[in-house]
Amino acid sequence: MPKLIVVTRSGEEREVMGEAGLSVMEVIRESGFDELLALCGGCCSCATCHVHVDPEFAAKLPKMSMDEDDLLDSAGDRDATSRLSCQLPFTDELDGLRVRIAEED
Domain containing residue 53: CATH number: 3.10.20.30
% residues pLDDT > 70 (the chain) = 100
Domain containing residue 73: 3-101
First to last CA, the chain: 32
Q: What is the pLDDT of residue 69?
A: 98
Task: Return d(Cα 88, Cα 83) in angstroms, integer.
Answer: 8
The whole-number average pLDDT for the span 44-50 is 95
The structure's pTM equals 0.95
Task: Please state, in angstroms and rounded to a whole number, the distance separating the CA atoms of residues 102 and 93.
Answer: 23
Per-residue pLDDT tens over the stretch 56-93? 999 999 999 999 999 999 999 999 999 999 999 999 99
Q: What is the pLDDT of residue 105?
A: 80
What band does 102 get if pLDDT is binned at 50, 70 and 90?
A: very high
> DSSP secondary-structure letter at 66?
H
